[in-house]
Every structure is written in C-alpha cells, then in structure tokens.
Structure 1
Amino acid sequence: MRIALHTQYFAPEPGAPSARLKSLASTAMARGHDVCVLTGMPSYPQGVIQPGYGGTWKRDEVDGVPVFRSYVYPSNSLRTLPRVASYSAFAASSAIAGLALPPIDLLITESPPLTTGPAGYFVAKAKRAKWIFNVSDLWPKSAVELGVLTGRRAIQAAERLEAFCYRSAWMVSGQSESILADIHHRFPAARTVALLNGVDTQLFGPHLRDEHLKSTELGGGFVALYAGLHGLAQGLRQLLDAAALLRDLPEVRIVLIGDGPEKEALIADALARGLHNVRFLPGRPPVEVPALLASADVALVPLRGAITGAVPSKVYEAFASGLPVVLAADGEAAEIVESSGAGLVVSPDAPNEIASAIRSLYESPERRAAMAKAGRVAATSRFDRVASANRFLEVVEHEWAKGQ
C-alpha cells in the first residue's frame, strides 16, 4: 500500500504521537509499504518554530521517510484563542498541502487536535484513499474533563465534529483499550483497531544507567524523575506538594525535565516555597531521554484528575528502562502498572500519597529492584512499540485485502 501519515506533530518534535508515528512509518516501510508524512513545521512544545524550518511549505526526510511540512501558527498558550488558531491553521494548511502528496491508498490522521479530522477526510477524498482516524486522546471528552473546553455550544459543536470523524472513517484506531471501548460504546458501527503507544525496547533500557550523568545532570542522591510535557493534563503541581512533604529526606530529590505552558509557573511556585529538593531541567532531544531516565531511581507519572482512556507513554518508557513507576492516575493506566507489578499506584491529585510512595521505594532497594525487573519483562513481552505497529498493520492489511 501507499500510506500517508497526517499529524500536526512529528519528529524532530518530542512526545508520544511523534515517537509512535515515526515507529509506525519505519515498521510499515519494513513491511514493503510506501510511506510519507504530512505534518507541520516543528514547534512543539516550546511554541516556537525550530531553526531551519518556517514558511508555508517544506519537504524533508526523517529516517528515509519523505516528510511534507505545511504552515503552523506556533503557540503553547493555555488560552483558548491561540490554541484554536494553532490547530485551525494546521488543519487548513495541511488540507491544501495534502493535495500535493503523491498518490496514496491510505491516509492515517492523528487526533488530537480534533481539527485535523475534517482536513484528513478532505485529503483522503481528494486522493481517493481510505481514511483511518487515529485517536490518542478522546476529544472533546478529555478537554471537558480538564476544564479546557467549556460552554454548551462549544462542547456540542466539538461533539458533532467528533461524531463526523468516527462515522466518516474507514477505520478508527486508538491508543488504549479504554479509548476503543468508549468509541465502540458510542459508535458501535465504527470499525476499531488498537495502535498502542508502547515503547522502543531497543532504545530504552537499564543498561544505559550512568552514575556520572546522574550526579551531574540529575543532581545525585535518590532521584524521582518526571520527564515530559509540563502542561495542564499532567497536574505537576502535585509533585511540588509531594516534595514539600519529603523535606525530611535530604537524599531525595524530585527532578522535572521538559517544557510546556505550565513550566514557568511551576518554577516560580517552587522558588517561592523554597523547595530546594526540586530540580527543573530544560527539555532534551528524544535521543538523550533514555539515558536520563535509566539513570534515575523512580519514574513519576502523574495525571490531573480522571482523563478517560489516558495511558501515558511514560509508563512504558519507565518499564523498558527498568525503573519503578509511581503512577498518580486511575483507569487502564493503573491496571497496567498493577498487573505488571512494576510500580505503585496512588490516587490522582493526592500529593500525600505520592510522597508516601516515593518514601516507601526510597526505603526499600529490594522492592525497587523487583519492580524494575518486572517492568522490563512487561515492556519486552507486552508493550514493544514495533510489535504493536506490526499488529496494527496486520489488521489494516487484512481489511484492505478484503476490499480489493
């Protein structure tokens, strides 16, 4: 097949969608498919176009995959209008740029943002291609749960757009079983298939642990590490509250690596409260993250409240790195951590429970070692990203063959 991936975020940008789709592209090429990517100029998560990019159109290549880039209005603002402008600008520009793609048989559109849906539908129709709508977060449901989307009319409009995408797609894929269950419950006619985030078990691993890196970059001691976006959904303020409860353990420090719209406010809050056991580091290129993660002692994966279907890719990366997880979430993510025996699950928005979990793991090296081993086993046997991509492609190839 001739496959195009349509996404606002792609390498060199960090994050789960970029990593997952990059892996999907390379896996599809290894299976003999022709693959290209339709995406935007890289600006995530800083909200600034990266050097070497810009303008309205650019063609480049990532790991041998042709990439067609169109205009984006860069923004990492939490305010509604800049976010809508950013999403809408890419939807419009990619709809136009998509007409210049080479002939394709299949277009896979990534959501969120939900606005990519109509653009993907338009391009697929224009190119006479099958269309898969890929859902990594349930919009607008998760946006409503986070308080980002408010107002009855706005919510109803977003729900109508969501329904259009599910009903128009040839297939709907999702990043967790709970996302797919939610879609199937509301839209039983939709053909669904899993495309789990997973993890590159060759890229992440405990063998990358580096004590020198730990002492210089992470500050030494017992490191509880958060690496990822500093945004609303992550609820990172609860980590600062947990740090305040751990002042009596001078060896323990909470380290946060990454960028995002909440970072400046978090740094200001930590300084105002005198949290000397908290360390902030700027975002790192994806290639540097595995060694940093493996050099920590515990991985922190918080979420703000209940977000339907959310399974952060950080869970899988910690598993593969041989790092015990402290997960502040419920739902499918909690089930995965508990069933794997690879960490501790606490309630979301409960800093006292996060602090207690970190304290417990700090005091028990044997328990940490057992969880680390269990996590690595789970990553390689259940959550390998290439294996997940292959399972997805097998289903798509089978369905495609039935229609030929």
Structure 2
Amino acid sequence: MTLYSDTILKSTDKAKNDQKLNICIITHCYPPDFGAAPHQYEHMAKSFQKEGHYVSVITSHPYYPSGKLKKEDRYKFISETNENGITVRRHWLLPSQKNNSLLRLISMMTMLMSMLFSLPYLKRNKIDLIICQTPPISLPFLAILAKKRYNIPIILNVSDLWPQAMVDINHLKKSSFTYKLLHKVEKYFYKKADHIVTQSIESQEYIQQLGFQKPQIYRIGADIDTFKPSDKDLNEKRYKMVYMGVLGVAHGLSQLINQIPFDRLGIDFHIYGNGIDLPKIKHIIKEKGLNSIQVFEPILYQKVPQVLQEYDFAFISQINYVRGTLPAKLFESLSMGLPIIFHGDGEGAKIVKENDCGWVSNPNAPEELVINLKEITQSNRNVLIKKGQNARTLCTQHFDRDQQFTNLMKTVYQNFTTKS
C-alpha cells in the first residue's frame, strides 16, 4: 500500500514549556453548529485546555449550515457562556441561506462588525495568542487589528482558499475587479500572520507559490478511538451507502439523485444532513418515487460513530472541484474502516485511489459512478473488507486528530511561549 504522507514536524527532546498561554480561537462555527469543522475547533480548544492553557472562543450564534439563527438569538447581540472552563463569546450576524456570493459577503461583514466589539475583551484578558480561521474572509481583520493594537501574534488557519474557491465554482472570474480585490486581501492576511496552518497539500503549495512561508499541515482528522470499526453482518443482501454532512450546491447530491438509477442498482442510499440543496433533494425523491433513498435529519455528533456502523461504505461527492478542499467527512469514514465512494477530484480522490481504500469517479462523468456501484454489488464482500482495513490503517497512521494537534502544539511551544 502506498501511504499518503503529511509534512509532520520532527519531534524534539526539548521539554514542554511550563509557561501557560491565554489563547483565543476566532471562528465562525462552533458546536452546536453542525459539521466536522465546528468539532475540530472544539477539539482544539479542549486540547489546549488539557495542556494547561487558558482558552476562549469568539464565534457567532449557531447558524451553520441551515443559514438560520434560532429565535432566541435573533435579537441577542453578544452572549457569553462558560462551557467546561472554556469561555465562549457568541456574536450576532445576518446569516445567509442563499447560494449568492454577495449575500454571503454581507453575512461575513455583519459577523465581523459584531465581533469587533470583542476587541476590549482581548485586551482585558491579556490574550497571548490568537488562532483565527479563514474563510470567512472577514475574520482575520479582527485578529490583525488585535495584533496592531495589542501586539498579539496570529496563527492563521486556512481551511479553504478564498477567493480561489469562488473561481472554482464559477461564481467569480479571475479577470473581475472583485477577484483582484479579494486576492489582495487574501495575500494581506498571509503577510500579517505569524504562522499559517492549512488542511491540505494543495493549499500548502498554493500559499507557498504566492511567495509566503510554507504552511504547516493541520488536518481536521478523526478521533480514532471514537470512530472505530465494528463487526458487520456480512449476510445482508442489500448494500447500504451513507452520506453524512452539509448538503450544498458543490456536493451536487440533488443532481446525482436525478441522474443515477439507485433503485435499480440494489443499493440503499441514506442521507443525513442539512443545507441549501435539501429541498431539491426531497422534491426529486418524492417526484420520482425513489424507494431506495431516504433523507434523515442531522444527528448529534456524539451519535455519528454509532450510525456509521450500520453502513457498508461512505459516499463523498464534490461535483465542483475546489482547489485545496478536503472533505472532513473523509477522515471519519476512513477511521470507521468504511470503504469510500469518492465522486470528485483533487486531493481527496488521490488519497482514496493511492491507498486502495475505495472507488473514485470523475465528477463530470456520472456513468463512472454507476460503473463503480455496479462493481461493488457484483463483488465479494471480502473486497469491501480489505478496502475498509486499508482505510482504517491509513487513518490511524496519518489522520489521527490527537496527533494533528500534537504537531500544532509543538509549533506553539517552539514559537509562541517566550515573552518579549
């Protein structure tokens, strides 16, 4: 097996610095928001806390991915809670449920304007280090302003490449004024960051090609002790495939459900999630009377491993290739020992193909997906077992969430624990 290796920081014999930092994480999503990203930041916050550091989170009121605020949050500008010793400051924003770049930009700006009111908090609590997510492209302005005013260093966590992502999904042209402006803003962020982390090799190479420091790879990864394989009933006649996550336009599930004859393939396809594509998915299922496809409400993150155990393989779809994007659900499925049906391109497809842990199809060729699904139903189940074993091995060796944090923590100890 060819393992897809990350750039891992070399361990040193240097003992951990006893100095405790006051760390603030700035992100647009945090539990109870749905998805892997909010839980990555929760894991980061709890892990720093376990190391003995003081941790706070500046985020928005829960809205992701439905694009709606709860009724009790609509007129609440700022709320502050203590969640197991972690201070969480939630801010108002004007959420956007539409697949519209302008509306999303307005939403990002309202979030920033609200979060600016936490500047005094950063000063008052003598924050030593800010870890800031981008996108949203607005959030780093808060971190940079805090750096200018209070000399607080910044670790910039680049989860997606903006505005390149908007070009990849055909919402912007590189020749447009908007792209050129946003690209200048993007490079400004990289310049002001004291350290950059990102989730994929593609993003790492992109940022480095722009002339900036080589980012550290920090994967979302998976909790390999929680997401672990279980014994399955190999005598079941029908295969069960699961999609779990955000239902966005870039994932294209409604389009695939309209194209792929799932009922005739002998595969039960279960979808757990929410997003702007959900109404269209439900409409197509009802209109065509599709019996093999069922849609379920998002489930609590703590219940995800238990639900995934019920399935034979996981489905990941990216009909629009977005450079640098690596689906977070990939890691948890790998950790569960689930073979992957990857309908897409880029780094995720490369991981699945090179490590023989599933099947890959071209997002512009749905007939390839049909061929793969037919191959699965006609194959011996031992083929799935072997690919599942490969998936689990890959995740435990390279995508363990705790190891990802350990590498980040080494960087913090080496670069941000010495006071001037």
Same fold (TM over 0.5): yes
Post-superposition offset of 1:138: 0.4
What one-letter code is carried by the residue in structure 2 that aligns with 1:331?
A: G
Query: In the aligned structure 1, how far is the partner of 2:222 from the partner of 2:36?
Result: 9
Counterpart in 1 of 2:242?
Answer: 225
Deviation track 1:247-278 (CA, whole Å, cap 9, x = no partner) reads 323x4122211000111122212333333322
Partner of 1:139: 162
For 2:163 and 2:398, locate their aligned partners in 1 and report how far apart those are by CA, in whole Å: 29
Matched, 1:58 2:75: no
Q: Relative to structure 1, is the Cα distance of residues 206 and 51 closer, same or farther in structure 2, using a 3 angstrom cutoff?
A: farther
Native 8 Å contact 1:92 1:119 kept in 2: no
In structure 2, the residue matched to 1:125 is 148
Residues 320 and 379, structure 1, Cα contact 8 Å, conserved in 2: yes
Q: Is it true that 1:79 corresponds to 2:79 in the alignment?
A: no
Matched, 1:31 2:51: yes
User: TM-score of the superposition, structure 2-length normalised?
Assistant: 0.88
Whether contact under 8 Å (1:208, 1:291) holds in the other structure is no
Q: Which residue of 1 aligns with 2:32?
A: 12
378, 394, 398: which one pairs with 2:410? 394
Report the equivalent of 1:285.
300
Aligned equivalent of 1:163, options 187, 193, 197: 187
Matched residue pairs, number?
394
SS, match of residue 88 in structure 1: helix
CA deviation string 1:292-340 (max 9, x = no partner): 2221111001102321111111111111111110111222212211233
Question: Equivalent residues in 2 for 1:247-266 (5 A)?
Answer: 247-249=263-265, 251-266=266-281
Counterpart among 152, 167, 178 of residue 154 in structure 1: 178
The question of 1:201 aligning with 2:224 is answered yes
Structure 1 position 11, deviation (Å)? 0.9
Corresponding residue SS for 1:368: helix
The alpha-carbon deviation at position 51 of structure 1 amounts to 6.1
Classify the secondary structure of the residue corresponding to 2:264: coil
What's the offset of the Cα at 1:221?
Answer: 4.0
SS in 2 for 1:247: helix
Ranges in structure 2 where 5+ consecutive residues have no aligned partner? 1-20
Structure 1 unpaired stretches of 5+: none
AA in 2 matched with 1:89: T
Give the number of the structure with larger relative contact order, counting CA–CA contacts within 8 Å between residues 6 or more apart: 2
TM normalised by structure 1 equals 0.91
RMSD: 2.2
Are residues 266 and 39 of structure 1, via their aligned partners in 2, closer, same or farther at CA, if it must alter by over 3 Å?
same
**Aligned residue type for 2:336:** S
Which stretch shows the higher mean deviation, 49-58 or 25-34? 49-58
Runs of 4+ in structure 1 deviating by more than 6 angstroms, as ranges, are 208-211
CA distance in 1, matches of 2:259, 2:119: 47
SS at match of 1:352: helix
Rounded Cα–Cα distance in structure 1 between residues aligned with 2:409 and 2:72: 33
Deviates more, 1:43-52 or 1:223-232: 43-52
Over the matched positions of the two proteins, sequence identity in percent amounts to 25
